[in-house]
């Protein structure tokens, strides 16, 4: 979590180096940004290195190596959200960011916390699957919502996919599509996945929205049932995870606000606009059972609505259903 006592010299230097990441920043400029002599700048640069940033130093000055390491201060800076990302905390390695977020629900003012990690030992996917991501290669983030006002978590589950698709498009313009309930696809391949988990906490119910986005690399194909891709593969560029995270937090904050305000029709319409499933025949697994039918509608509270082979209407909830084909 960044300090709320004001930015340190290292924070100020990192902001400048991040904003100017395409080139070198001279020591004179760095000293002016830090408001301190060069000796302090040297110490602050050492502190940034200890926090995982890689720096090139040359006679022209200092340059931040790309991609940058995660940094809570850079993520929080001028984020402008109401609820989501009010506090951000970044770790090197954790077991699962969803577990860290769930445990944080016991603390005061935890609502809106975003937990990030460079790597996970036991990243979880939906339906008991594993979520593998090489260290520093992706966004591994969990957003915690303390649900005092009975936020419809069914709606949050599908809004999360939408927010991630929108956030990626804000940064990389990939025209991301959605696959029920919340897989995010680029070029027909999975680029991000979401795992929403519920638990109880002293303040009521904790909703943890776990988000995994393949940024610099996708997991090796052998591990996957379906093809995966990454922002790097799709754009051919180094896309900074920090930019993607900020865009997703902003989009998610906006959707959480709309859900709180009961604006579910907007969620349905935005979701449908990104889903290629309408009127298509799909097979969905719910628990141990399979259902086949034509997609009739998406309801943010009730799930995907299918017309079964005998004309019956099937409501398949987001949390427990997954599309097989
Ligand atoms: C899926 O598509 O199956 C969902 C994947 C969700 C992965 C994210 S990574 C951050 C958070 N922590 C976890 O252990 N899982 C989620």
Q: What is the pLDDT of residues 301-316, one digit of tens each?
A: 888 999 998 999 999 9
Atom 2 (ligand 1) nearest CA: 193
The pLDDT of residue 319 is 78
Where does CATH 1.10.10.10 sit in the chain?
9-64
Q: Tell me the CA–centroid distance for residue 150 and ligand 1, in Å.
A: 23
Residue ID of nearest Cα to ligand 1 atom 5:
125
Residues 6 or more apart whose CB falls under 8 angstroms from that of 59 comprise none
pLDDT at site 149: 66
Hey, which CATH number is domain 72-272, 1.10.10.10, 3.40.50.2020, 2.40.30.10, 3.30.930.10? 3.30.930.10
> What are the start and end residues of each CATH 3.30.930.10 domain in the chain?
72-272
Taking the CA of residue 123 as reference, the ligand 1 atom at the shortest distance is: 14
Q: What angle do CA 208, 214, 218 make, to 5 degrees?
A: 130
What is the predicted pLDDT for the residue at 4?
Answer: 54
Q: List the CATH code of the domain at 281-324.
A: 2.30.30
For the Cβ of 102 lying below 6 angstroms from any atom of ligand 1, the answer is no
Residue 53, ligand 1, Cβ within 6 A: no
Nearest CA owner, ligand 1 atom 7: 212
pTM of the model: 0.93
State in Å: Cα 193 to ligand 1 middle: 6
| Ligand 1, pocket-test mutation among 113, 116, 211, most atoms within 8 A of CB | 211
What would the CATH number be for the domain defined by 9-64? 1.10.10.10
Average pLDDT on 80-105 reads 97
pLDDT value at residue 268? 94
Closest ligand 1 atom to Cα of 97: 12
Mean model confidence pLDDT for the chain? 93
Token look-up 């790597």 returns 119
Return the pLDDT at 3: 46
Please name every residue paired with 90 in a beta bridge, in sequence order, or none if there are none: 116
Say if residues 157 and 321 touch (Cβ distance below 8 Å): no
Percentage of residues in the chain having pLDDT higher than 70: 96
The closest residue, in CA terms, to atom 3 on ligand 1 is 125
Asked whether 193 lines ligand 1 (CB < 6 A), one says yes
Q: What is the pLDDT of residues 9-68, one digit of tens each?
A: 999 999 999 999 999 999 999 999 988 899 999 999 999 999 999 999 999 999 999 999
| Mutation to probe ligand 1, out of 121, 126, 140, 197 (largest number of atoms < 8 A from CB) | 140
190 CA closest ligand 1 atom index:
2
9 CA distance to ligand 1 centroid (A)?
A: 34
213 Cβ below 6 A of ligand 1: no
């Amino acid at each position: 979590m960044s300090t709320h006592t004001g930015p340190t010299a290292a924070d100020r230097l990192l902001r400048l180096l991040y904003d100017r990441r395409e080139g070198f920043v001279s020591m004179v400029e760095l000293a002016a940004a830090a408001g301190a002599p060069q000796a302090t700048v040297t110490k602050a640069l050492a502190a940034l290195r200890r926090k995982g940033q890689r720096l090139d130093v040359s006679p022209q000055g200092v340059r931040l190596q790309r991609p940058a390491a995660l940094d809570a201060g850079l993520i929080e800076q001028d984020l402008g959200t109401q609820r989501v990302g009010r506090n951000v905390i970044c770790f090197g390695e954790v077991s699962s960011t969803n577990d860290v977020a769930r445990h944080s629900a016991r603390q005061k003012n935890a609502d809106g916390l975003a937990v990030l990690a460079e790597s996970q030992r036991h990243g979880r996917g939906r339906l008991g699957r594993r979520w593998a991501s090489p260290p520093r290669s992706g966004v591994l983030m969990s957003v915690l919502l303390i649900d005092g006002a009975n936020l419809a978590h069914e709606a949050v589950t599908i809004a999360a996919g939408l927010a991630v698709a929108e956030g990626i498009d804000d940064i990389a313009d990939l025209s991301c599509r959605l696959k029920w309930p919340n897989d995010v696809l680029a070029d027909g391949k999975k680029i991000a996945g979401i795992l929403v988990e519920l638990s109880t906490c002293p303040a009521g119910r904790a909703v943890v929205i776990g988000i995994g986005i393949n940024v610099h690399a996708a997991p090796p194909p052998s591990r996957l049932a379906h093809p995966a891709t990454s922002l790097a593969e799709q754009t051919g560029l180094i896309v900074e995870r920090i930019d993607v995270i900020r865009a997703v937090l902003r989009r998610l904050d906006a959707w959480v606000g709309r859900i709180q305000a009961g604006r579910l029709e907007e969620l349905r319409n935005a979701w449908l606009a990104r889903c290629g499933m309408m009127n298509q025949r799909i097979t969905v697994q719910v628990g141990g059972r399979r259902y086949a039918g034509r997609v009739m509608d998406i309801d943010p509270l009730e799930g995907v609505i299918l017309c079964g082979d005998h004309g019956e209407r099937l409501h398949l909830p987001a949390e427990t259903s997954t599309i097989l084909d």
